[in-house]
């Protein structure tokens, strides 16, 4: 096993409820697919272009192969694929990817949250728990994220947890059917005073139950 995997993180209380993170499971198929099909308009503008129709890609029958490739990446220490739960219910995903060790000790972080929970602190709490895990048990020095300039909600979430803007990556990623510019944000462990969760608690954004 690699440091930081498997992991159960939280709980952290926010207006939506109690946020916890845990590894993806084979039996997540139905909950994953139901939200992904229902929230297509909320998710598609920000996600990598996939092959085939959204309905087919996000059908429950597609989850086992996705789950098994996420688990394979986790087993080789390159990824931490987590489900975001709110009060015990599947509510989104948070993934740390491209984990590189050695002298770089870096990875990217990405997330999505069900639309019916929007604006209630879930992504902010999940990201704080994920970052503390990156800088603690996983042992990373730097975490980065990329976000479309149009994605103001996600930029607010990244700012909430202390990410710093590093630049604009032109035509960086094939998202929603075209090469899209992305803002690059980064955070290194030296910039975190205490933990990211402590920061949210201090700012009154979350409560440790």
Chain positions contacting ligand ACO, by CB under 6 A: 42-43, 46, 110-113, 117-124, 145, 147, 151-154, 156-157, 160
CA gap 28, 7 in Å, rounded: 16
Between 26 and 162, whose beta carbon lies closer to ligand ACO?
A: 162
CA gap 132, 77 in Å, rounded: 17
Shortest Å, Cβ 41 to ligand ACO: 10
Phi and psi for 3 in degrees, rounded to 5?
Answer: -60, 135
Between 21 and 157, whose beta carbon lies closer to ligand ACO?
A: 157
Between 7 and 43, whose beta carbon lies closer to ligand ACO?
A: 43
Between 150 and 191, whose beta carbon lies closer to ligand ACO?
A: 150
Shortest Å, Cβ 1 to ligand ACO: 26
Between 58 and 124, whose beta carbon lies closer to ligand ACO?
A: 124
Shortest Å, Cβ 202 to ligand ACO: 15
Shortest Å, Cβ 6 to ligand ACO: 21
Which residue pairs, CB below 8 angstroms and at least 24 apart, start in 103-109? 104/141, 104/142, 105/139, 105/140, 105/141, 105/142, 106/140, 106/141, 106/142, 106/143, 106/144, 107/134, 107/138, 107/140, 107/143, 107/144, 108/143, 108/144, 108/145, 108/146, 109/134, 109/143, 109/144, 109/145
Tell me the CB-side half-sphere exposure of residue 136, using CA atoms within 13 A. Answer: 13
Residues 6+ apart with CB under 8 A from 194: none
Between 62 and 154, whose beta carbon lies closer to ligand ACO?
A: 154
Shortest Å, Cβ 139 to ligand ACO: 21
Shortest Å, Cβ 148 to ligand ACO: 7
């Amino acid at each position: 096993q690699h440091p930081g995997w498997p992991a159960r993180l939280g709980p952290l209380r926010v207006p939506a409820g109690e946020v916890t993170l845990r590894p993806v499971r084979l039996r997540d198929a139905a909950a994953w697919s139901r939200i992904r099909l229902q929230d297509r308009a909320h998710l598609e503008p920000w996600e990598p272009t996939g092959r085939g129709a959204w309905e087919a890609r996000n059908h429950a029958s597609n989850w086992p192969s996705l789950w098994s490739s996420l688990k394979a990446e986790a087993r080789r220490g390159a990824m931490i694929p987590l489900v975001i739960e709110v009060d015990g219910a599947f509510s989104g995903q948070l993934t740390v990817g491209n984990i590189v060790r050695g002298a770089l000790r870096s990875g990217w972080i990405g997330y999505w949250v069900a639309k019916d929970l929007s604006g209630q602190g879930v992504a902010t709490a999940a990201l704080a728990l994920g970052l503390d895990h990156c800088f603690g048990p996983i042992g990373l020095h730097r975490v980065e994220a990329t976000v479309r300039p149009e994605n103001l909600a996600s930029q607010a979430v990244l700012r909430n947890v202390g990410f710093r803007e590093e630049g604009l990556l032109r035509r960086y990623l094939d998202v929603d059917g075209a090469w899209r510019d992305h803002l690059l944000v980064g955070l290194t462990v030296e910039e975190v005073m205490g933990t990211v969760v402590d920061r949210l608690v201090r700012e009154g954004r979350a409560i440790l139950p």
